[in-house]
Amino acid sequence: MTLKMLVIAAAAAAGSDPAAPPAESVSSTNQRVGGDLQREIEKRGEQIICGTAAITTPLPEGYPNPTPPGAIEIKHYPTVRRAQVERDGNTWWGMNGAFWPLFRHIQRRDIAMTSPVEMDYRGLRTDAKGNPDSWTMSFLYRSPEMGPTGKDRSVEVVDAPAVTVVSLGYQGSYGVENVRSNLRTLELWLASQSTWERDGEPRALFYNGPEKRDREKWAEVQVPVRLVPKASAVDPVSAPGEGSSEP
């Protein structure tokens, strides 16, 4: 089951166009820092594609381009309004309990589905199997002007702050073990360089619904990062007697 119920709405909002125009290159402000340095994404009509990976549901306004599968990028996300539900325990079964309140919320407010669905993880370990301590599932609003923030039954609508992340694109199922495996790759990259340091808990972005087979689904795993502070310059030690009133 995993995310099949989660992405029913995305599938309804998607829908491929068999008569779509030829693919065009998509410019990106993402900074490629590792993994596949050559792979690019393209746009065909409303779709964003990369090989067998494709996104057919619109992204929120100002949202950065998806990271190609196999690539590692530094990305800067703006503030985004999102409807979220927090849960703990088993992500496999718990996601249905988070999906339906979110789905009913966007139905009540007549808000179109966007892509991706965001999953924030707290206490997700990469050195052992098992569920994270807790997690949050979020549906994203197309723009921050759509509807008010605040509680709507079991859903909370918030403006998530801007964030800088290092992101690894991948294809595969949306289960937590796949997230964990790709997170290990990101942690190895973080450990291999000295420019960026971890600045928060990981999250995953899921772009597709059940219209895509698991091996073709497009996803990203991300870790918030910040620049490593540079060592401050040390003032030179004054020469003996310099600046002294003593003879």
Q: How far is CA 71 from CA 39, 41, 44, 212, in A?
A: 7, 11, 21, 21
pLDDT tens, position by position, 142-199:
998 998 999 999 999 999 999 999 999 999 999 999 999 999 999 999 999 999 999 9
What's residue 17's pLDDT? Answer: 39
Whole-angstrom distance, CA of residue 228 vs CA of residue 243 = 36
> Are β-strands 71-77 and 163-171 bridged in parallel, bridged antiparallel, or unpaired?
antiparallel
What's residue 137's pLDDT? Answer: 96
Higher-confidence residue: 211 or 80? 80
What's residue 89's pLDDT? Answer: 81
What's residue 178's pLDDT? Answer: 95
- The answer to the question of residue 243 being in a domain is no
Whole-angstrom distance, CA of residue 211 vs CA of residue 221 = 21
Q: What is the CATH number of the domain that holds 163?
A: 3.20.80.10
The band of 209, judged by pLDDT with boundaries at 50, 70 and 90, is: confident
- The answer to the question of residue 239 being in a domain is no
pLDDT tens, position by position, 25-71:
555 689 999 999 999 999 988 799 999 999 999 999 999 999 999 99
Query: Is pLDDT at 21 greater than 50 in this prediction?
Result: no
- The answer to the question of residue 246 being in a domain is no
- The answer to the question of residue 44 being in a domain is yes
Enclosing domain of residue 191 = 1-229
**Residue 241 tokens, joined:** 């007697």
- The answer to the question of residue 194 being in a domain is yes
- The answer to the question of residue 234 being in a domain is no
What's residue 234's pLDDT? Answer: 53
The band of 232, judged by pLDDT with boundaries at 50, 70 and 90, is: low
The total number of structural domains in the chain stands at 1
pLDDT tens, position by position, 62-117:
999 999 999 999 999 999 999 999 999 877 666 678 989 999 999 999 999 999 99
**Left if phi > 0, otherwise alpha if psi is -120 to 50, otherwise beta: which for 87?**
beta
Q: How far is CA 24 from CA 29, 38, 44, 49, 113, in A?
A: 16, 16, 6, 10, 24
Q: What number is the average pLDDT over the span 119-135?
A: 92
- The answer to the question of residue 245 being in a domain is no
The band of 130, judged by pLDDT with boundaries at 50, 70 and 90, is: confident
What's residue 14's pLDDT? Answer: 36
What's residue 94's pLDDT? Answer: 67
Query: Is pLDDT at 242 greater than 60 in this prediction?
Result: no
- The answer to the question of residue 33 being in a domain is yes
